[in-house]
Structure 1
């Protein structure tokens, strides 16, 4: 059987699945390692190779096994230099297709039909596809200048509020208390966070925001409202008649608030990015 392996790679995780040519799922693997070209081309391929080995084991294939086709949706794959460097690492005998992780999520969420997909996880990006086959995107410029409304963005906003409290801005907040426990009030400890360059590390602060918001902490609720508005701004940059899909870990947490704003435009995703990548493979035949 000629397997098609698809890879959904972002800043925090790497997921792989093997499908038959007819779309039957054969294996599925998830790694807590990035497959983002932005975070390192060689590392991304190394992590994908680890995932491929796990897929091979699930398939009970021989050690020389390679997929017939490798279809990948990876963060950071729009930059041409990185893209070429990455593709040069891949086995030449394996057929390859590379798109962004956000576009893979759109195709999966909409089942390949017209729609808008905002992927909100460690980062954020919006992709759209209309009835004429025209497509576009907004956001996704990456941390620290973009990715508004994302986990990393929420982490930065929470950290900014904590720094304000350190500088003397009055704040009675569960979120501030939780940040103080985690970060501490020592200057060196604080600067270890303020000089943090890995989006995934700052996204690790987002759960504190959601936990505090669940306890009705006013500051945390304010930050979540800000994140919702940033996501809505992305939606407005696409054709206004299209259905909207919100995906990603942070996106799912924001879903109830976005539902109140988008009402009947907000739809349930048909599939995930892995199935979206298989659909792209089928369309490319």
Structure 2
């Protein structure tokens, strides 16, 4: 992954094409935002055409807000992060799409998150949300740890918490482990009937499992022993990803994602002390990918 080289008069279109929505932001070289746009999901799992349609809608909305027509966008450099860009043929197909910009650089959504988190410098991130993944940029090389998809991967994530708690609730229902307030609440969601849980399982997605994560966190805060075990196991999984990234040469490590602050409080003290603050978000990373100088926000 390389960033663009541009002149001082250029503008920068940053696009973060995620699985739940797509954001775009038009900026000057000093980071002043002059336009923004939103669109629907842009992950390539919905198809490359649908992904590009969402990306185009988002950046067109940002151009409109800035009062710039597509035909006048030849001085704009774009950095576009896309969830699922590593799927076979996705990058090539998106790079072949017609666009109005002077240049367009593509990267995965994880790559722009890493660029933003460390202000364009080398560093590593562990994403802890519905899924989980470790990523590092070191001397121009990209290192990925995990993130292969739920349920075979994504350890320590929201989906992982959900899977663990549903499994524990079923075991408690059978008498194979002690029933707790957490496990009773989970079984109550299924009408205390394992058959309902099995029927739900047949259709459940990672997002469905992750919906149980806030319940686990709440009960863990209340001291529920089953919830605490699940949180400890999740934190241990995230610790393993983080320590592996340090072993691979990362000097900075940042946790990001919807569960990052929760999981951080469960990590071992020595690892928490080694964490670095997030310097910017995914759109900052996309702007850096486009060639905008790294700046502090």
Length-normalised TM-score, structure 1: 0.84
Partner of 1:24: 32
SS at match of 1:80: coil
Partner of 1:235: 242
Matched, 1:278 2:275: no
Contact map agreement 1:151 1:203 (CA 8 A) in 2: yes
Q: Distance in 2 between matches of 1:112 and 1:42?
A: 30
Contact map agreement 2:13 2:77 (CA 8 A) in 1: yes
Q: Distance in 2 between matches of 1:121 and 1:29?
A: 24
Q: Distance in 1 between matches of 2:220 and 2:172?
A: 18
Could you tell me which runs of 5 or more consecutive residues in structure 2 were left unpaired when the two chains were aligned. 1-8
Q: Distance in 2 between matches of 1:233 and 1:216?
A: 24
2:90 counterpart (36, 60, 82): 82
Contact map agreement 1:151 1:206 (CA 8 A) in 2: yes
**What is the Cα-based RMSD across aligned positions, in Å?**
2.9
Measure how far apart 1:62 and its partner are.
5.3
Q: Distance in 2 between matches of 1:200 and 1:93?
A: 35
1:118 counterpart (115, 126, 145): 126
User: Structure 1 pair 44/215, CA: closer, same or farther in 2 (3 Å)?
Assistant: farther
**How many residue pairs were aligned?**
281
Measure how far apart 1:193 and its partner are.
2.9
Matched, 1:173 2:180: yes
Matched, 1:141 2:148: yes
Partner of 2:5: none
Partner of 1:11: 19
Partner of 2:256: 247
- Between 1 and 2, higher relative CO (CA 8 Å, sep ≥ 6) is seen in 2
- Render the CA deviation track for 1:207-246: whole Å, top value 9, x for unaligned: 1111111222111111111111111111222244612111
Contact map agreement 1:196 1:202 (CA 8 A) in 2: no
Moved more, 44-53 or 218-227: 44-53
Q: Which runs of 4+ in 1 moved over 6 A?
A: 63-67
